[in-house]
Amino acid sequence: MSVTAIVLLGVPGSGKGTMAEAIKKSKGYIHIATGDMLREAIEEGTLFGSKAKSYMDKGDLVPDDVILKIVMDRLDKGSDNCKYMFDGFPRTLTQAKLLDMHFAQRNAKLVFVFLLVVPEEVTLARLMGRRVCRKCGASFHIRNIPPEKEGVCDYCGGELYQRPDDMKETILKRLVVFHQQTEELISYYEKKRILVRIDSSRHRNDSFSDVINVLQGKHNNRL
Ligand code: AMP
C-alpha cells in the first residue's frame, strides 16, 4: 500500500491540461488541478472562490494558504493506495516544501516532476485561441482543436467561453509570474533529481509518449 505522485509543471499554455487528460486515461492517475478546483469554487460561489477570483483575474498567484487548504482537503479524502497527478501545483517553493512535509508524514512519494517546455510565442497562440466549456470544462482551440459548431462544446453542448485570464495582457502577466515564482521550484526539484524536461512544442502525442516512457522505465521499482 503506497501513495505516489507526479507533478506537471509548465507555463500557462504549455499543454499541462491536455497531457494530464492523456496520462489520467492511460495510467489511472487521480488528477488534482488547482486551477480547475479554484474555478469550480468560483462557480459555486464559495468563500475560497471569491478570495481566489480577484487574484486569478489579474493573473496573480492565489495565496499559498488558500491553495494548500484545498489541496490538503482533497488529499485527505484519498485512499492509502493511489497515484496522484498534480497539475498547476505546487507553483511556489513554499507549496513544494509543504507538500514534501505532508508526504513525509504519510510515507507518500513524489516520483517525477515533468516540466513541459514551450517557447513563449507558442504559449501565446495556444492561450489566446483557447475556448473552454462552461459546463464540463472541456478545452478547445479556435484553430488547432475547433469544435464542430462554433461556440458549442462537442461533448455536452455547453457554451464555450474565453477564460478572463486568457486575454493577452493577463497571459503576459501570468508568464512573468510563472518565471518569478517557479524558477526556484525548478531548481529545487532539479537538486532532488526528479525533474524531467519534456519538449511540449511538438505534437501532443510525441510529448505524451516521452512522459509514458519515463513512467514505464521506472514502473517496476518506483511507481
Ligand atoms: P491554471 O488553470 O493552472 O493556469 O491556473 C489559473 C490560475 O489559478 C493561476 O493563474 C493562479 O491565479 C491560480 N492558481 C492555480 N494553481 C495555483 C497554485 N498552485 N498556486 C497559486 N495560484 C494558483
Q: How do the domains of the chain map onto residue ranges? A: 4-118+168-215, 120-161
Give which of 48, 17, 14 is closest to 31, Cα–Cα: 17
Q: Is 110 helix (H, G, I), strand (E, B) or coil?
A: strand
CB-ligand 1 contact for 61 (6 Å cutoff) = yes
Global confidence as pTM:
0.83
CATH code, 4-118+168-215? 3.40.50.300
Give the pLDDT of the chain (223 residues) as one tens digit per residue. Answer: 589 999 999 988 898 888 999 999 999 899 999 999 999 999 899 888 998 999 998 888 899 999 999 999 898 887 777 899 999 999 999 999 999 999 999 889 999 999 999 998 888 998 999 999 999 988 899 998 999 999 999 999 999 999 888 888 899 988 898 888 888 999 999 999 999 999 999 888 899 999 999 998 754 333 3
Q: Determine the Cα–Cα distance for residues 128 and 144; give it in Å rounded to an integer.
A: 12
Catalytic residue status for 197: no
Burial 92-102 (b: 16+ CB within 10 A, else e): bbbbbebbeee
Tell me, rounded to whole angstroms, the distance of Cα 133 from its chain centroid.
17
CB-ligand 1 contact for 174 (6 Å cutoff) = yes
Q: Determine the Cα–Cα distance for residues 12 and 52; give it in Å rounded to an integer.
A: 17
